[in-house]
Amino acid sequence: MKLMPDMLELMRTSPVIPVIAIDDINHAVPLAKALVAGGIRVLEVTLRTAHGLPSIRAIAEQVPGAILGVGTLTDPDEFVAARDAGAVFGVSPGLTAALIEAAISSGLPLLPGVMTPSEVMRAREAGFRQLKLFPAVQAGGIGMLNAIAGPLADVTFCPTGGITETTAAQFLACKNVACVGGSWLTPKDAILAGDWARITALATTASALRKTF
Ligand code: 3PG
């Protein structure tokens, strides 16, 4: 069995976690290689296309250095399949009792999505201290993160949703943010054109946003 990472350590490994949706399985490995070449090693491959799981398997086998997560986990049955394909962590847009159970029984560390203080509190009660604020901008963005840092101080966030190359640094400056997620590192036109150099350049800029803990 693979060694599963500590979620906080993982979040501190990379200032940006690219949220990846693969439309063509042939893109998976070169895309992951391009990101890793730019210093972005923690990758979230979502299950929102049919190529999600096969892409995780291919990247796990062929891209040394990638730390692979499975994203858009909404079905408890997907945890074991993703773990067996090579994912070492999971990300979900929200949290349900069934997902908590699946995270525990599969042993796959989960970064669950929350959007309100009550959702943060329910996730904490279930034992989660590292959370994804989702959708981050729509949830109130930086103002929301700062407002909950006082009353809910023991939680660390990966805000995701609506964050851009321009705003990422402002999110990372929040004391309760360890990393951010976003899709701007993987523009669809660059992937379709096979412009891996552009993706490596985006990753290089993103990895320079590293924060000191
Ligand atoms: C998503 O749902 O695709 C992720 O939250 C990424 O959002 P973004 O495209 O706004 O970065």
Task: Tell whether the model's pLDDT for residue 156 goes beyond 60.
Answer: yes
CA 160 to ligand 1: nearest atom:
5
Residues 52/78, Cβ–Cβ less than 8 Å: no
Q: Quick one: pLDDT at residue 210?
A: 80
| The two structure tokens encoding residue 96 | 């349900």
Q: Is 44 a catalytic site residue?
A: yes
Sign of the C-alpha dihedral computed for residues 68, 142, 167 and 119 taken in this order: positive
Domain-embedded: residue 212 = no
Q: Is the peptide bond between 135 and the residue preceding it cis, with omega within 30 degrees of 0? A: yes
71 within ligand 1 shell (Cβ under 6 A): no
* Contact (CB, 8 A) for 134 and 160: yes
- Quick check: CB of 113 below 6 Å from ligand 1? no
Where in the sequence is the domain holding 171, given as residue range(s)? 7-207
Q: How far is CA 72 from the centre of its chain?
A: 10
pLDDT tops 90 at residue 183: yes
Distance from residue 198's CA to the centre of ligand 1 (Å): 19
Question: In angstroms, how far is the first alpha carbon of the chain from the final one?
Answer: 30
**Contact partners, residue 86, CB within 8 Å, separation at least 6:** 2, 56, 57, 59, 60, 61, 68
What's the pLDDT tens digit per position in 55-90?
A: 999 999 999 999 999 999 999 999 999 999 999 999
Residue at 213 is within a domain:
no
What confidence score (pLDDT) does residue 212 get? 78
Q: How far is the CA of 137 from the centre of ligand 1 (A)?
A: 10
Catalytic site residue 132? yes
Element of type H or E holding 46: strand 42-46
Confidence at residue 5, expressed as pLDDT on a 0 to 100 scale: 82
Residue 2 lies in a domain: no
Query: pTM to 2 decimals?
Result: 0.95
Which residue puts its alpha carbon closest to atom 8 of ligand 1? 161
Mean of the per-residue pLDDT values of the chain:
96
1 occurs within a structural domain: no
In a domain, 89, yes or no: yes
DSSP state of 16: E
Among the residue ranges 3-7, 39-43, 140-144, 162-166, the one predicted with the least confidence is 3-7
Q: Is 167 in the pocket of ligand 1 (CB under 6 A)?
A: no
Tens of pLDDT along 8-18? 999 999 999 99
Q: What is the CATH number of the domain that holds 112?
A: 3.20.20.70
Q: Output the residue whose Cα is nearest ligand 1's atom 1.
A: 161
Question: Which run of H or of E encompasses 183?
Answer: none
User: Mean pLDDT across the stretch 202-210?
Assistant: 95
The share of the chain scoring above pLDDT 90, in percent, equals: 96
The number of distinct structural domains making up the chain is 1
Q: Looking at the domain assignment, is residue 84 inside a domain?
A: yes
pLDDT band for position 3 (cuts 50, 70, 90): low
In a domain, 139, yes or no: yes
Ligand 1 pocket, residue 15 CB under 6 Å: no
Q: Which pLDDT score is estimated for 135?
A: 98
